[in-house]
Structure 1
Amino acid sequence: MTINEIFEEEFSGGRDFSFAWRIFLDRFYASTKEQRSDLIRTAPECLDDPRHLSYCAAGIHKLCREYSLDLPEWVSDKSLILDEPYFPGASTDLLKLVCLVESPPEFKMRNIFTTDNVLTRT
């Protein structure tokens, strides 16, 4: 299974990006190293919001670093750097400030600002 297949499956069930991303993370964490590499090797082509594709690239970049995986070529595409800052889920100025400080470098480099536990599943 690939990240694109996960997103397509979740979207067909009426779920949104945030839900589908969490399902991807659950599957990633439950996979072997080889399965993880297969899961992320191609971009999720079904995403129509560039912010979501950039978010996926940032998350996968961080996962590759943390799990010693080869970085898929698509993740390094310069077009995945957003022109405008994106603060997913940050509804107040105070939370945006926290995100500016905490955001992992893989997200910051793409102009995405989130909390430092962005990839945590509990």
Structure 2
Amino acid sequence: MGEWIQSIADTYKAICAGEAPWVALGNFMNAWYDYAKDQREALVSESLPALATSSLEQRRWAAFCVASVEYLCQRYGLHCPDWVYQSQYSLVEPWFHAVNPHKPQVRARLIETTPEPFTRRNIYCGNKMFANKYEFAAQAGTTSPNQAI
């Protein structure tokens, strides 16, 4: 890919190395939506590295990264890589990722609004995590996503 652009595999490695998950995912999403949007298939072609001793938190973020790849490939009409469909990327216990995940109304909203690539992997996070500020800026007629916000 020439200059370094953060792939989903790089994103997961960064999370496992201690980077805040939403910072790492934000770097990937900036590449996906803007910096390397012409290289999207390359951003998701490499599978996540296997970790011999992964924690529950790392398994959750691995499943989230994989669900993200499937969701984004579906949304943008790209071939989804086969490695995404490995059963190791599904969680045994449901993971409700939200500010107040134990409130019944929050859980109900997450169950209702989470895209299928996530729910199939037992992740419930809603449908707002991939709001594309670059597409929003283009629709709003601004030249920069920061102008639209």
Given the two structures, how large is their TM-score scaled by the length of structure 1? 0.84
Unaligned 5+ segments in structure 2 are 134-149
Aligned: 1:4 with 2:17: no
Unaligned 5+ segments in structure 1 are none
Q: CA deviation at 1:66?
A: 0.9
Partner SS state of residue 125, structure 2: coil
Superposition CA RMSD, Å: 2.2
Structure of larger gyration radius: 2
Partner SS state of residue 47, structure 2: coil
Given the two structures, how large is their TM-score scaled by the length of structure 2? 0.70
For residue 17 of structure 1, what is the aligned residue in structure 2?
Answer: 21
Structure of higher RCO (CA pairs closer than 8 Å, 6+ residues apart): 1
Q: CA deviation at 1:96?
A: 1.5
Deviation string for 1:42-63 (max 9, x for gaps)?
1232774111010011111010
* Higher alpha-carbon deviation: 38-47 or 56-65: 38-47
Which aligned runs of 4 or more in structure 1 are off by greater than 4 angstroms? 6-12
CA contact (8 A) 2:12 2:65 kept: no
Residue identity in the other structure for 1:57: V
Identity rate, percent? 23
Distance of 1:46 and 1:120 partners within structure 2: 29
